Chains A and B, each alone.
Chain A
């Protein structure tokens, strides 16, 4: 079956522009997570959605970052007024009611 998909796979933008990154989770997965992976680093948690509960935004690095999720489907991560330090791979994962998270291929964001 289809796994987690993300688009675009690569995004190059200019400093100060807004970007939107999209994640399509596996159908039926109740939980959805966004992580950021900077070059040579592990994954940093950004935000997660669990069913209809309020999202846990505790990992968002600044108020320029926001995310939405429509029901238990698509999620969009928005970064406003991008900065060079936002350059990273943004990974999305989804999870059924279990302990396994399934990751998408990521979006590589480069801010010039």
Chain B
């Protein structure tokens, strides 16, 4: 099965870019996701990328996928205090099956 690793903490200054990284072991994932979890809230889907893509940009968010190194990253440009949350990468092998999640990276934004 999939094994997913994320660094637990990241601290950045407001206005800087944040890069959250994720490594995985199973190369059969078809969709790769980034979710955001704010305190006391459920998970919010931020963005996702198909496994046949290398990059996806959506406003301040950029997802990079390096299939050779099995590395997924999320870059947040111009990080704001409202971006403080826990960010999870997640993987899907085929439609309507359970997602496999990393343990999450807690992003703290310093004003």
Contact = CB atoms under 8 A, between A and B. Distances in A.
Interface stretch (A69-77, A80-88, A93-101): A93-101
Contact of A30 (B30, B41, B90, B96): B96
B contact residues, range: 20 to 34
Contact of B96 (A31, A35, A45): A31
B96 A91 contact: no
A42 B43 contact: no
A65 interface: no
Contacts of B41: 105
Interface string A21-58: 00000000011010100001111110010100000100
Nearest to A4: B42
A43 B95 contact: no
Interface of A: 4, 30-31, 33, 35, 40-45, 48, 50, 56, 59, 91, 93, 95, 97-106
30 contacts: A4-B42, A35-B98, A40-B103, A41-B103, A41-B104, A42-B4, A42-B103, A43-B43, A43-B88, A43-B99, A44-B101, A45-B100, A48-B96, A50-B96, A56-B98, A59-B98, A91-B43, A99-B30, A99-B31, A99-B48, A99-B92, A100-B48, A101-B45, A101-B99, A102-B45, A103-B35, A103-B43, A103-B44, A105-B41, A105-B42
